[in-house]
Amino acid sequence: MTVFADLPVRAAPVRGALRLLRRPDLALAVLVLAVVVAAAAAPGVFTARDPLRGVPADRLRPPGPAHPFGTDYLGRDLYARVVHGAGESLRATVVAVLIALVVGTVLGLLAGFVGGAVDEVLMRIVDVLLAIPGLLLSLTVVTVLGFGTAQVAIAVGVAGVAGFARLSRSEVLRVRRTGYVEAARGAGVRWYGVLARHVLPNATGPIGALAALEFGTAVLAVSALSFLGFGAPPPTPEWGALVADGRNYLAGAWWLATMPGLVVAAVVLAANRIGRALEHTEEGT
């Protein structure tokens, strides 16, 4: 009986951060996300140009010193549009991940902790959600909800619920059988106390890693929906919409679709790298 071996262990945050930054690829990923988040928070710091006002005489200029990402068909600075689009796209992504995280975790906790019929019913619903491809589910939801950034965020969030529910349920099942939970129950702590104080905190690690991975997926899904025209109405510069706008100009102005496309790719890769690292940190402890 090694009762003490499965006691909750917490990695020292400072040590963890240092370890993350010793790896250059990971550092780069963190830097990319930090820059993008900063651009979303304060676009004015990154560019002084108006993302909505173009100079028709300067239209379709290739990337150069004056316009690092080139200009679009109305002569708008593409870099300014990508920077201002960060806020729009990231907000939708964060909302989507939060919806998936909160709803999914609550469902998983309930199913895992209560068990029995509740578990059966919730998990069969989750099975159905998992059976439908994520993007297809998002498309269906957004078609019902209508056009707009908030609608896109909800649609992407709904598609992510199932993954979080599955994971948090399995974590709860794992933690529930540990000695300290048994001990707490045995000591007469009420069920919600056990759930909140012992089960939830010790089930969060893998869920955090999944959230980081889900962030990358959600950036992609949000961009995909806005590419298809479900996002904010033009001329709002959402990343997916920028790629869609550039699609018809691929032959003559490659930068229109390529530049925002590269930014989306960089953010997705960075989020994936960080998610992977968190996963390994979890496994290491």
With respect to another protein, which residue has the nearer C-beta, 69 or 164?
69
Question: Rule CB under 8 A: is residue 145 a binding residue for another protein?
Answer: no
Position 56 contacts another protein (CB under 8 A): yes
Selected binder of another protein within 52, 114, 173, 189 (CB under 8 A): 52
Q: Residue 251 interacts with another protein (CB under 8 A)?
A: yes
Stretches 9-17, 51-59, 85-93, 172-180: which one binds another protein (CB under 8 A)? 51-59
Site for another protein contains 253 (CB under 8 A): yes
- 3-state DSSP of the chain: CCCCCCCCCCCCHHHHHHHHHCCHHHHHHHHHHHHHHHHHHCHHHHCCCCCCCCCHHHCCCCCCCCCCCCECCCCCEHHHHHHHHHHHHHHHHHHHHHHHHHHHHHHHHHHHHHCHHHHHHHHHHHHHHHHCCHHHHHHHHHHHHCCCHHHHHHHHHHHHHHHHHHHHHHHHHHHHCCHHHHHHHHCCCCHHHHHHHHHHHHHHHHHHHHHHHHHHHHHHHHHHHHHCCCCCCCCCCCHHHHHHHHHCCCCCCCHHHHHHHHHHHHHHHHHHHHHHHHHHHHHHC
- 252 scored as a contact of another protein (CB under 8 A): yes
In the set 127, 233, 265, 280, which binds another protein (CB under 8 A)? Answer: 233
Stretch that binds another protein, among 89-97, 155-163, 168-176, 230-238 (CB under 8 A): 230-238
- Is 148 an interacting residue with respect to another protein (CB under 8 A)? no
Report the interface residues with another protein, using CB under 8 A.
Answer: 52-54, 56, 59, 73-75, 147, 229, 233-235, 245, 247-253
